Structure 1
Amino acid sequence: MRRADRLFLLVNALRGRRRAVPARVLADDLGVSLRTVYRDVADLQRSGIPIEGEPGVGYMLRKGADLPPLAFDAEELEALIVGIRFARAFAGGRLGDASMRALLKIEAVVPPEVYARARRIAILAPGGRGERSAAFSASLDRFNLAIAERSLLRVRYVRAGDEETTRVIEPLCVLFWGGSWTLAGWCRLRGDFRQFRLDRIRECAPTGETYAPDPTRGFDALMRRFDVQACEQAQQALGAAMGGEWAT
């Protein structure tokens, strides 16, 4: 990690904290030694960054202090531009428009030669066009809004084999698997996490109710489920490759 990046992350780690952050915590977060944290803090203090505290006590930014101007190198800008291209193509109208506004702000503050190099990155996301694309974009906006507001959704869904079912779900996230989109959430009918392919959702409307946060069936719990499933699938694949002796 470049020293400039490390100093920026150090200041960012202190911003908004109401209590002093121990140097050991900062060292663990940044992956550096205590001695490096002490040296970096001293350098930042000498450069005028209002960091208060001392070794053994902890550090915090003086109230009202802000970060120095942010700078991106060319590779970081390339990553941002690729992300913005995909957001514009696939993340719905609201986030697509927001991504373009972000791109204009980035262009206004970075050196022209660095920005020009980053724009030449040959990773594109053309996206769809026409009425179908506009309708899909609007549906993504509705799903994102429901997730943000924790709105219960009533979904009429067609499963494989043309079996139709109606579910009430607590939407948690929308996932793109490269070939298909799914809406993931807690299904009240099944009492478990379920994914619903967007192209098989025939109707979707809010019930007018909201659901309360629940750590046992919220987003973090869903991500843990995905991690477990991915591990199990990897073990099964390894078991098949080894003649089944490692299968679970």
Structure 2
Amino acid sequence: MTKHQKRLSVPKSWPVERKTETFTAKAGAGPHGESGVPLVVVLRDVLGYVDNSKEAKYAVNTQGVLVNGDNVGDINRPIGMFDILTFPERDEYYRVFPDEGGRLGLTPIDADAADSKLSKVADKTLVDGGRTQLNLHDGSNLIVEDDEYSGGDSIVVDNESNDVVAHFEYEEGALVTAVAGQHAGHIGTVDDISVQPGSADNTVSVSGEDASFETVEDYVVVIDENFVGDEGDESESRQTESDGGDEE
């Protein structure tokens, strides 16, 4: 199986230039499914902290980068929406967040915000012992004792204890951000949730400071005001502007 991915066929969310090189790294097994971006691409193409995969391997092997508070052993580990990247020696912290074009970018956050991660509840299932399993947007799951969550809600999970430290309900009046589609990166308040018959996608109407929009329900994530504060300065968001560098 090839270790490379053709740039022209990568998902639109990947922050790589598509016409400067033929190949880029291929994401390994892990969270976020096909949309996950290999860690080496983030380190090389977005941040410019390494020039090639050898330097990336050295960085992860010396605990130079943490993902959601954990050491990483694979430079192709998929990185995706709302992941937290920590660089201990640099004292730098980033949240992965889509920009207005839908491509994943890195937004600087402070150390306190890096201790936990926002996740969207995709759905939930009942497991042994009467407990509830929350199935999250990145493919991970979490067992909780209380059945107070619904699909579309958002939770904040402590990276160390794995406890839910905040819960935001998906409902009219909720603050949301669009993470896909033509309105990706926009923030606003839910005005109306329209449940469509049959297999059609539910839609949601959102009012923002700059503009109002309607989008597919799956494209929005509930956030809180603190999250908006972290994302407030879009000029600081790190996006790739390089030619991709060496692949090996």
Quick check: TM above 0.5? Answer: no
TM-score range, shorter chain: under 0.3
- TM-score, scaled relative to structure 2: 0.25
Larger C-alpha radius of gyration, 1 or 2? Answer: 1
Bigger RCO of structures 1 and 2 (CA < 8 A, at least 6 apart) = 2
- TM-score, scaled relative to structure 1: 0.25
Which structure shows the bigger proportion of residues in helix conformation? Answer: 1
